[in-house]
C-alpha cells in the first residue's frame, strides 16, 4: 500500500540517521525566517501607500489592486515550477541567495518608477525574486529536521510572515516620517522624490545584506529520504505523485490558497479601510498594526506549529489539517467583524484577534505537503502550491476588493464591505476544502510517519 503512493521511506543510510546539529539547524531556520520577513516587507509595503500613489499617478482602486496582486503574482507564479525543479536538483542556497538580490533590487526600482507601467514592471521583478524562497526553503528545512519535528521548524519559518508584515507597517510608517528629513539633508539624492518613492528605496536596500548573510553562512544540507530513481520526463514523477494522492494534495492546496486570498486582501486593503472609514493616518495605522499585530502573528506561527507537533506525537496523523481548520474559522469570524467594526479601536482589536490565525494554514500546508511527498519532489510540490497561491490568492485577493469597491459598493466607503464579501466566500470554501482533504491526508500521513 505504501509503495503505491510513494510516501514510505527506504531504510535510512548512516548519513540520513545523523541529522545536522540542532543549534545550526535552528540557525538556518532563523536566517530563512529573516529572508521570508524581508520578502513580505517588499511584497506588502504597498498597502500603506495606496492613497499617495493613487493621488500622484491618478489611478483607481482597481489599478492599485493590480499592482498589489497581479503585477507581483505573474512571475511569482509562473517561475515557481521551474524554480521548484531547480530546488530538487541543484544548490538551494544559491537559488535563494540570488532571489533575495533580485527582489531587493526590484523593490528599489519601485521607488524609481514614474508611472503605472514602471511600477507594474518593478512589481513583476519583486515576484520573480520571491518565487525562489518557498520551494528551496521548505525543501532545505525538510533535510535539516526529522519528520515529527518539522512542524515546529515550519512554524518558526512562518514567523517571517508576521515579522515581515509588522516590519512593513512600522518601516513604512517610519520612512514616511523620514522622507522630509532625507530630502532636506540630502537634496541632491532625495530632493526630487515623493515620500512614497523614498519609502521603496529604504525598504529594498536591507535585503541585499540579508542575501549576503545567507550566501556566506548557510550550508546546503544533505538530501534525505531519497526514493528509488523513476522513469519518465522531468515532470512525470511529479504527475504520478499528484495523481495517486490527488484528494490530499488538492484539498490542502485549495484550502490554503483560499485562506491566502483573504489574507492578501486584508494586507492590501485593511490600512486603506482604516483611513477611509475611521479617518486614521497612515503613520498611526502602521505603528498600531505593526506594534500589536506582530506579536499575535508570531503566536499564530509558533502556536500552530507546536500544537500540530503535540497532536502528531499523540497519534493524530491529521494534526496539520485540524490546525488549519481551526485557523480558518477564527480568521473568517474575526475578519468579518473587523471589516464591519463601528469604531477604529474595535477594528484594530479585531485585527489583532484575527492575526492569531493568519499563519495557521501556511504552517499546516508546508507541514502536510512535505510529510506526504518524497524528497526529490518536495521543491516541485511546494512550487505548485506557490503557483496556485500566486495565480489565485495574490492576484484575486487584492484585485477582488478593488473591483468590488469601485463597481459595487462605491470606492469612497466600499472597502470594508468588499473585504467582508471576500472573507465570507473564502472562509466557507476553505473550510470545506480542508475537511474534504482530511481523511485522505490522515491515511497518507500515517503511512509516512
Alpha carbons 62 and 234: distance in angstroms, whole number: 39
Alpha carbons 297 and 165: distance in angstroms, whole number: 9
C-alpha cell at 50: 495606496
More confident residue, 211 or 175: 211
Q: What value, to the nearest 5°, has the Cα angle with vertex 300 and ends 399 and 447?
A: 95
pTM for this structure? 0.70
Q: Are the beta carbons of 423 and 354 closer than 8 angstroms?
A: no
Mean pLDDT of 261-284: 88
pLDDT at 425 over 90: yes
Q: Among 246-255, 344-353, 366-375, where is mean pLDDT lowest?
A: 366-375
Mean pLDDT of 162-177: 78
- The helix/strand/coil state of 224 is coil
Report domain extents, the chain: 21-221+235-448
Alpha carbons 148 and 152: distance in angstroms, whole number: 9
Cα 36 to Cα 41, 131, 334, distances in angstroms: 9, 11, 25
pLDDT tens, residue by residue, 106-137: 999 998 888 899 999 999 999 889 988 988 89
- The helix/strand/coil state of 152 is helix
3-state helix, strand, coil in the chain (%, to 5): 85, 0, 15
What residues contact residue 55 under an 8 Å CB cut-off, 6+ apart? Answer: none
Mean pLDDT of 155-160: 80
Supply the DSSP string of 413-425, one letter for each residue. Answer: T-HHHHHHHHHHH
The per-residue pLDDT for 3 is 42
- Band (pLDDT 50/70/90 cuts) for residue 364 is confident
The per-residue pLDDT for 447 is 61
Q: Are the beta carbons of 378 and 139 closer than 8 angstroms?
A: yes
- Band (pLDDT 50/70/90 cuts) for residue 255 is very high
- Band (pLDDT 50/70/90 cuts) for residue 163 is confident
Mean pLDDT of 82-88: 80
If you ran DSSP here, which 8-state letter would residue 112 be given?
T
Alpha carbons 286 and 271: distance in angstroms, whole number: 8
User: At the fourth CATH level, which superfamily is domain 21-221+235-448?
Assistant: MFS general substrate transporter like domains (1.20.1250.20)
What residues contact residue 333 under an 8 Å CB cut-off, 6+ apart? Answer: none
If you ran DSSP here, which 8-state letter would residue 390 be given?
I
pLDDT at 363 over 80: yes
Amino acid at each position: 500500500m505504501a509503495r503505491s503512493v510513494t510516501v514510505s521511506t527506504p531504510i535510512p543510510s548512516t548519513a540520513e540517521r545523523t541529522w545536522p546539529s540542532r543549534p545550526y539547524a535552528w540557525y538556518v531556520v532563523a536566517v530563512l525566517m529573516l529572508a521570508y520577513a524581508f520578502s513580505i516587507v517588499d511584497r506588502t509595503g504597498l498597502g500603506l501607500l495606496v492613497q499617495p500613489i493613487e493621488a500622484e499617478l491618478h489611478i483607481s482602486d482597481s489599478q492599485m489592486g493590480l499592482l498589489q496582486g497581479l503585477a507581483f503574482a505573474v512571475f511569482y507564479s509562473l517561475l515557481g515550477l521551474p524554480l521548484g525543479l531547480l530546488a530538487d536538483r541543484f544548490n538551494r542556497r544559491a537559488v535563494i541567495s540570488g532571489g533575495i538580490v533580485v527582489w531587493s533590487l526590484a523593490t528599489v526600482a519601485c521607488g524609481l518608477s514614474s508611472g503605472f507601467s514602471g511600477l507594474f514592471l518593478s512589481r513583476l521583478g519583486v515576484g520573480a525574486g520571491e518565487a525562489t524562497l518557498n520551494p528551496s526553503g521548505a525543501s532545505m528545512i525538510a533535510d535539516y529536521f526529522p519528520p515529527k519535528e518539522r512542524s515546529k521548524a515550519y512554524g518558526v519559518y512562518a514567523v517571517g510572515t508576521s515579522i515581515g508584515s509588522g516590519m512593513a507597517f512600522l518601516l513604512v510608517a517610519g520612512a514616511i516620517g523620514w522622507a522630509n528629513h532625507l530630502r532636506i539633508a540630502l537634496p541632491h539624492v532625495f530632493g526630487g522624490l515623493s515620500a512614497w518613492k523614498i519609502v521603496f528605496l529604504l525598504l529594498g536596500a536591507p535585503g541585499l545584506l540579508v542575501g549576503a548573510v545567507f550566501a556566506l553562512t548557510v550550508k546546503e544540507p544533505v538530501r534525505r529520504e531519497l526514493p528509488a530513481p523513476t522513469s519518465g520526463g522531468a515532470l512525470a514523477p511529479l504527475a504520478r505523485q499528484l495523481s495517486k494522492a490527488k484528494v490530499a494534495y488538492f484539498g490542502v492546496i485549495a484550502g490554503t490558497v483560499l485562506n491566502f486570498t483573504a489574507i492578501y486582501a486584508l494586507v492590501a486593503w485593511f490600512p486603506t479601510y482604516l483611513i477611509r472609514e475611521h479617518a486614521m493616518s497612515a503613520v498611526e495605522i502602521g505603528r498600531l498594526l505593526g506594534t500589536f499585530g506582530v506579536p499575535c502573528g508570531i503566536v499564530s506561527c509558533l502556536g500552530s506549529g507546536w500544537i500540530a507537533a503535540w497532536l502528531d506525537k499523540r497519534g493524530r496523523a491529521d494534526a496539520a489539517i485540524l490546525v488549519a481548520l481551526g485557523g480558518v474559522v477564527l480568521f473568517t469570524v474575526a475578519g468579518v467583524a473587523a471589516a464591519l467594526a463601528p469604531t477604529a479601536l474595535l477594528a484594530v482589536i479585531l485585527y489583532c484577534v484575527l492575526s492569531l490565525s493568519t499563519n495557521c494554514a501556511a504552517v499546516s500546508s508546508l507541514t502536510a505537503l512535505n510529510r506526504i511527498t518524497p524528497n526529490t519532489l518536495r521543491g516541485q510540490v511546494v512550487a505548485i502550491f506557490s503557483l496556485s497561491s500566486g495565480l489565485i490568492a495574490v492576484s484575486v485577493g487584492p484585485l477582488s476588493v478593488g473591483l468590488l469597491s469601485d463597481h459595487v459598493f462605491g470606492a469612497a466607503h466600499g472597502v470594508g464591505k468588499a473585504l467582508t464579501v471576500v472573507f465570507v466566500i473564502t472562509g466557507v470554501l476553505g473550510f470545506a476544502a480542508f475537511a474534504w482533504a482530511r481523511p485522505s491526508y490522515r491515511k497518507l500521513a500515517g503511512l509516512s510517519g
